[in-house]
Structure 1
Amino acid sequence: MGDTRRRVTVALGTTALVAPLTLALGATPAQAASCTTQTGPYQKKVEKFLGRPVDGKQSTADCKAIRAFQTKHGIQPNIGYAGPVTWGVMDLMQKQKAVGKNPNKSGKCPVNKGRIACVNLTLQLSWIQDGKKLVYGPVPVRTGRDGHETRTGLKKVYWRNIDHHSSLYDVPMPYSQFFDGGQAFHSAGVSMWNPPGSHGCVNMTKTVAKKYWSLLKKGDDVYVYGRKPGT
């Protein structure tokens, strides 16, 4: 019996490395396979976001569409329920889109520092500017979760490692550019809208992380402000 349990445990552990994100993040096969018939509190808003008929009533087609969105972004449980987490991700996407090409409209990221990487925790956006000129972005990012918040303030890139591997969390951190202790810009293989967030780093897609690597250098300024939703 002990050997059987050990084989099952090993098999599940191996599956998590290659299974879809939903399973890797802890969903059980039963959760991944189910689809709820319940109408969620954000049903109409979620239906509108997904381009579904807005009637405020859960249907099989609604559930499949919601569940596909949840699976894509690692939202758990991915059962097609129009709840606060799912709507929160959609609402954030809409707010990010509304920023357009003027991410520093508020002027909160310093324009007197020359080239600087800005991180707006509230909107989960980052960009690079030079004075008032937008150099790159804005792009969606994934910052620290509750208890592991990305620290705010003016910082500088102090160390770069293109092939860094975290000894603390035993995960790869490609294109790492550290700006505050163990907190860095780096590529991550998850959706940028995957809740709850990182362990303090500013996660980016590989494409964005490579671009940041080419645009920034040691000594460049980084400014982090705001507060990540839910932290």
Structure 2
Amino acid sequence: MRITGRLTALLASGAALAALCGCTVQPTDTDGRHGLPVHVRLPSSRSGEATRTAPSTPVRSAPQVLWARGDSGPGVRELQARLRQVDWLFDGPTGSYDDLTERAVRGFQGKRGLPGTGETDVVTWQRLLAMTRPPGKWELYLMGGQPAAAPDPRCLTGRALCISKTSRTLRWMVDGRTVSTVAVRFGTQYTPTREGVFRIYWKSRHHVSTLYHSPMPYAMFFSGGQAVHYSYDFAARGYAGGSHGCVNVRDETAIAQLFAQVRIGDKVVVHW
């Protein structure tokens, strides 16, 4: 009885001491990873008090996105030209980050083990730069869109179609003011587009060439059989082709508007 009483007393005093110290242990309520009671804190470097901390994991930020769908500008145009060099894009360059560009970027990324976001981030761009060369002006403006050359002085009076072979553009001008600008294509080496000052003498909305049997929608004739007109081939192939002397336009909406505004007798200036 004395031994039992002493043991009971010792256990009681130990429990009381633990209670006073604030560290009563519930051995059945433990942390599975550490084998410690859940309320026991691991050492903290900030203070003398113990605290549980999760293992630190380094956080990597995503690469900066340079261009994504909906963007436009010279950077996008260069991206498209370089994607064409590695056969991931076959249209353009247009300078507008459209669905075709997004699909091409996603394919390029997937082929090289990069996240297939379809957005051109810094990592994707650096990989593409390493595989391609700087595109020339012809490549950048394969489908048109280059800045128009300064208008020829002969275009600054009256109503004029001011057509530059240097920039491959057509300015529609009224009294020295540019109303609209479109990309154009000219005749080949063996069928060149004539240069000089002419007048529109005939308009034919649904014209078909009697010589080549090819469609010439929105034709506006200015010199013999040469006319400004819409070209399906130009729209599809860009400057990879050429006309039989006519001035081709690839933007059907633009040529339709131009056809509605131009009158018989309006001036046509073809210059370098």
C-alpha distance after superposition, 1:14-62 (max 9, x if no partner): xxxxxxxxxxxxxxxxxxxxxxxxxxxxxxxxx981269x9xxxxx996
The residue number in structure 2 matching 1:4 is none
Q: Which amino acid aligns with 1:126?
A: L
Is residue 191 of structure 2 the alignment partner of residue 148 of structure 1?
A: yes
Contact 1:121 1:225 in 2 (8 A): yes
Check conservation: 1:159, 1:178, Cα contact below 8 A: yes
What is the aligned partner in structure 1 of residue 67 from structure 2?
none
Other-structure match for 1:170:
213
Report deviation, 1:63: 1.5
Question: Where does structure 2 lack aligned partners over 5 or more consecutive residues?
Answer: 1-75, 95-130
Say whether the 8 Å CA contact 1:96–1:123 is kept in structure 2. Answer: no
Which of 196, 212, 215 pairs up with 2:261? 215
2:151/2:162 contact within 8 Å kept: no
Give the corresponding residue for 1:133. Answer: 177
Q: Tell me the equivalent position of 2:138.
A: 89
Q: Does 1:161 align with 2:204?
A: yes
Q: Map 1:1-231 onto structure 2 (within 5 A).
A: 49-50=78-79, 63-65=86-88, 68-69=90-91, 87-92=136-141, 96-99=145-148, 103=149, 105=150, 107-112=152-157, 114-136=158-180, 138-191=181-234, 193-204=238-249, 205-226=251-272
> Greater CA radius of gyration, 1 or 2?
2
Which runs of no fewer than 5 residues in structure 1 stay unpaired? 1-46, 55-59, 73-80, 227-231
Distance across 2 between alignment mates of 1:106 and 1:161? 27
Deviation at 1:196, TM superposition (A): 3.2
Q: Is the 8 A contact 2:231 2:248 kept in 1?
A: yes
CA distance in 2, matches of 1:109, 1:120: 12
Between the aligned residues of both structures, percent identity stands at 27
Q: What TM-score, normalized by structure 1, do the two folds share?
A: 0.58
Q: Deviations over 1:164-203 (max 9, x none)?
A: 1101111111111100000001111133533231111111
SS at the partner of 1:218?
coil
| Residue identity matched to 1:50 | L
Quick one: distance in 2 between partners of 1:61 and 1:94?
Answer: 12
Cα 1:107–1:207 shift into 2, 3 Å: same
TM-score, with structure 2 as normaliser: 0.50
Deviation of the 1:139 alpha carbon:
0.9
Distance 1:199 1:225 in 2: 18
Q: Decide whether the 8 Å contact of 2:77 with 2:93 is kept in 1.
A: no
The residue identity in structure 1 corresponding to 2:234 is S
CA RMSD of aligned residues (A): 3.6
Q: CA deviation at 1:163?
A: 1.1
Q: Distance in 1 between matches of 2:87 and 2:215?
A: 33
SS in 2 for 1:191: helix
Residue aligned with 2:139, SS: helix
- Equivalent AA in structure 1 for residue 211 of structure 2: L
Cα distance in structure 2, aligned partners of 1:174 and 1:131:
27
* 1:107 Cα deviation from its structure 2 partner: 4.1
